[in-house]
């Protein structure tokens, strides 16, 4: 067997049967058994919620994958969908996905969201797009909507959109940029290794959609200038670490979900090397050495946990032992994973909320220092995590 720190080539591992899980949704309002945290329902009846952001006065902004954006009152009441969204190609894994507020939201009311954007009328396909808009003072509509980035090319697929947004920082200060994670659309996996497309990439753009001059491929012939890193599969979690570095995770094929710290211009290996098991592949020798110039992950999960959402805890709400931990939702095994770190090394993992029996789609730290999670169900919930 290869050393555990070396990824396998995708053709190097036998195909195994996918893990099948049968889950039973709990009754609305059901609570997990007492443990390290309790999940207190804040809102319910959300249709496949995907992301949560925190508005002033205790309100929440939540995306629903079918294509709705909702303001949730502090008491949990759901308002009618916010008007003014673009046409969303909802279906499969596509729809209205991540949303974040601009750091200056209190004064400019600007927000950013990403979604599966259909091709223009008369054309086929879709792709991940990033838009900015202003939320009206009464929180009922989006004004000044503008799509500032569209993944190229558009393809006919309902899979692997990626779509997490992170506002960038440099030298400890906001630098006016946005990171956006992009999936390789499943059947276009080989695109993740070439620079003439946006499939399987992390891109970095200005808040107006411009290309930052210090992006790693600016001026390189045959490379799209928005690209920051490449060789990714389907990244559905990203966040800034306490030191301002970008962290992300991505789905492996059958095993090999990864945590990575993307660096400018680096290649993260997909589909050449992976800890997972490629669909339909045969058996051959493991990659040795792993692909030249390709980065190894900081951490991987095999079997896959199907990660989604990602947040660092910086508050003291849960005691000093949890401060600095990284939290990642699991869709497949329906738990919240607490990842304890020593620098950039994983030293311990703890599974939380397993008694909920619900897919964890997003996790965020709120302005009050508590963690909040979204459960991905037709009647999904927004929940606050509190100490027992």
Active site residues: 160
First to last CA, the chain: 44
Beta bridge partners of 341: 346
DSSP letter at 86 equals P
**Whole-angstrom Cα distance, residue 218 to residue 226?**
8
Q: Please return the burial class of 292, using the count of CB atoms within 10 Å of its CB with bins 0-12, 13-18 and 19+.
A: exposed
Q: Contact at 8 Å (CB) between 217 and 198?
A: no
- Cα dihedral 311→313→318→321 (10° resolution): 120
In 3D space, the residue among 83, 94, 82 whose CA is nearest the CA of residue 129 turns out to be 94
Q: Where are the alpha helices (DSSP H) in the chain?
A: 105-108
Sheet holding 257-260, edge to edge: 234-240, 246-251, 257-260, 299-301
């Amino acid at each position: 067997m290869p050393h555990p720190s070396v990824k396998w080539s995708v053709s190097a591992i036998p195909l195994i049967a996918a893990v099948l899980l049968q889950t039973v949704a709990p009754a609305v309002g059901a609570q997990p058994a007492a443990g390290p945290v309790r999940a207190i329902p804040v809102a319910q009846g959300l249709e496949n919620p995907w992301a949560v952001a925190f508005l002033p006065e205790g309100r929440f902004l939540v995306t629903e994958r079918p294509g709705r954006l909702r303001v949730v009152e502090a008491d949990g009441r759901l308002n009618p969908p916010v008007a003014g969204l673009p046409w969303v190609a909802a279906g499969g894994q596509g729809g209205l996905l991540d949303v974040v507020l601009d750091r200056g939201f209190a004064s400019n009311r600007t927000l950013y969201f990403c979604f599966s954007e259909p091709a223009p009328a008369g054309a086929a396909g879709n792709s991940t797009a990033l838009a900015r808009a202003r939320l009206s003072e009464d929180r009922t509509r989006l004004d000044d909507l503008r799509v500032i980035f569209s993944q190229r090319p558009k393809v006919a697929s309902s899979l692997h959109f990626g779509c997490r947004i992170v506002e960038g920082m440099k030298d400890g200060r906001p630098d006016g940029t946005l990171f956006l994670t992009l999936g390789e659309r499943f059947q276009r996996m080989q695109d993740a290794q070439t620079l003439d497309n946006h499939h399987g990439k992390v891109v970095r753009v200005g808040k107006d959609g411009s290309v930052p001059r210090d992006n790693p491929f600016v001026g390189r012939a045959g490379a799209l200038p928005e690209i920051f890193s490449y060789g990714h599969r389907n990244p559905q979690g990203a966040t800034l670490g306490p030191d301002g570095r970008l962290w992300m995770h991505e789905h492996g094929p059958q095993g090999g979900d990864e945590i990575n710290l993307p660096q400018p211009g680096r290649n993260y290996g997909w589909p050449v090397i992976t800890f997972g098991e490629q669909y339909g592949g045969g058996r051959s020798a493991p990659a040795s050495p792993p692909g030249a110039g390709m980065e190894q992950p900081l951490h991987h999960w095999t079997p896959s946990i199907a990660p989604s959402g990602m947040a660092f805890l910086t508050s003291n709400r849960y005691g000093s032992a949890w401060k600095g931990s990284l939290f990642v939702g699991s869709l497949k095994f329906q738990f919240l994973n607490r990842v304890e770190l020593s620098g950039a090394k994983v030293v311990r993992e703890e599974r939380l909320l397993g008694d909920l029996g619900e897919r964890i789609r997003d996790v965020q730290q709120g302005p009050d220092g508590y963690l909040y999670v979204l459960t991905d169900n037709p009647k999904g919930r927004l929940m606050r995590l509190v100490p027992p």
